[in-house]
Amino acid sequence: MGDGDKRREGFGEGVNAPADHGSWRVRLRRWAASGSGDVLGAGVLFGGEHVLTCAHVIRDPVTGLRPERVQVEFPMLQGLTRTPRRTAAVAAGHWVPPFGKAQGDLALLVLDEPAPVPSPVTLHRTLDYRGAPVLIDGFPEYQSGGEWLTGACMGPGGEGDERVQIDLTGAGRLRGGFSGSGVREEGGDRLLGIVAQADESGEHGYMIPAATVAKYFRRFAERYVTGPHAVPGHRVVPAEAARAARPHGLQRTVTRWLNGDEDAWDTEVLFITEDDERARQALYVVLNMADREQAPHLAVSPLDAAGPGPAEPGASLLSRAGIAPRVGSIGLVLDLEGAALDDPDRPELREALAVLRHELRHAARRHTAPRHRPAVAVLYADRSPTEPATAVRILRELADAGARLLLVVRDGTHGFPYAMAERLLPADRAARWLRRIGARVDELSGTERRARRLFHRVEPHVVDPPLATGYAARAALWTVQLSDELRPLTGRGGPHFLEKLSYAEQAVDTYLLRARAAEEELRAVLDEHLRLRGLLRDHLARLARRGLAEHADAVGPYREAQRLLMAGPCPLADAERAVEAFARVVRRLAEADGDA
């Protein structure tokens, strides 16, 4: 294996050079043996030999596949008599063509020899892109020296929120030659992502952010993507486990908070007992689903994407239950179990807090809407060595700065829940929480009522139909008991009462998930029964139009299908077979009658 092959196997070392010397800005041309080919677009150089760009920029226009080679130029290097150039090929396992609706579209190139000047830049994860002012460079036609545009990030976009929308704020427009170019944070040296596409006007575009790049190119990200992970490594859930996970009521609360729904509060509290492993895993799954970098229900291996487009995985149990947090909606997960907020031995925690404070300062200057500010899940502050009053003070500062908090605690006996109830939550939280649970119970009661009506329609015709659930009466009794307990507490409620409310809401939401599932199953059974009756009626009408309704060959199969569908409960599969048997007779008789 030669040196060039070794370079293709590994990622090069970074260097400490000024971030603005332009070495990272590269121009891509179609490779031509006789000289320079047409300009394809732009790319970003990382280290001395890797170029990140969009797959559609370099894709072969004839075959639609990856090219064998691409010409890479370094037009921004100063003091040279001619523009340096290199030949590059797509790195093995790092080709993700566009698929779905604005998904994928990434390619990593490896130079045939090191770049003239190594690039010092990295891609940087941010907690919230909304409102961030950015600079975009590209190489449009007839502007060989490139062009800079100014814009502002507007928030997530594209299927699964893989991309971030950018609206231009100055002169110029996005056009051919900008795809693959770096998006740089104005006033700083951080690259946030690369440009992927623009609308017809050229006034709006989409960026593939650092976290999306990291999702597809994990090995590359280890070297060239900086900034704290939204979800710490020890709380990452394997994609297979997430797709097979069963819905849990707490995931509805967390999803509403992540999505900024109207009935969600900026500061939510969730109690999970020490021994409830299923609830903890349910929490980690929904947080992973909200992380643009993890998003296990959307995760695609670059190797799987080597063809025209990866096959989409089957819908998970969670997505079928309506648990679908927006990808990218979680800004940060702070896991404080056994860790102090100011622990010098936890640099990743210290960095995460520093980045969070930086983002909050910028969000305040951008006048970002509250529901669009960073969402921060704080896990197990009641298991942190940080003194409770200090922890609550720090969290209060974050909340006052605009952070939306999800506080996950183990029980109400620790000092932290007491301090949280007194100093972090509004005085009427318990009363408002009880009213919210009451609204969930009303929704549960309505769902079960509809399911019972469906059951009464289905039961006479179908064997063993799904049963409607009957949880509403029990849940309504809880709300009465909790209301009686709250009344002497004048509305505030201590940590023990908040703990009861949390468990009650989780249970009611779990019941609601089951009730909705039963309603959907019953509706599907009824729809299938009605569909078969409609088919039987249509086939009979086809025969009747030709005077063949009483044909000896048709009478028996029709009566059998009618008996199964109308006379009493029957398995739907038997009824479907009978309808299909009658349909075959109808087709045969119609063809014989001259209606092919």
Average pLDDT, the chain: 85
pLDDT score, position 229 = 86
| 561-580: pLDDT as tens digits | 999 999 889 999 999 999 99
- As a whole-number percent, the residues of the chain with pLDDT over 70 amount to 87
Identify the residue whose tokens are 């400490």: 16
pLDDT score, position 79 = 63
pTM here is 0.79
Average pLDDT over residues 80-93: 86
Measured between alpha carbons, how far is 438 from 252 in angstroms, rounded to an integer?
A: 15
Pairing of strands 404-409, 375-379: parallel
Q: Reply yes or no on whether the pLDDT at 450 is more than 70.
A: yes
pLDDT score, position 144 = 63
Amino acid at 288: N
Average pLDDT over residues 223-248: 86
Average pLDDT over residues 113-136: 85
Q: Reply yes or no on whether the pLDDT at 174 is more than 80.
A: yes
Stretch (H or E) spanning 91: strand 85-96
Identify the residue whose tokens are 């952070």: 403
Q: Reply yes or no on whether the pLDDT at 453 is more than 80.
A: yes
Q: How confident is the model at residue 70 (pLDDT cuts 50, 70, 90)?
A: very high
For residue 4, report the phi and psi dihedrals to the nearest 5 degrees. -60, -40
Pairing of strands 375-379, 332-335: parallel
Beta bridge partner(s), residue 166 = 153, 205
Average pLDDT over residues 17-32: 73
Inter-CA distances, 358 with 52, 135, 354, 403, 544, Å: 27, 19, 6, 11, 76
4 in Cβ contact with 113 (< 8 Å)? yes
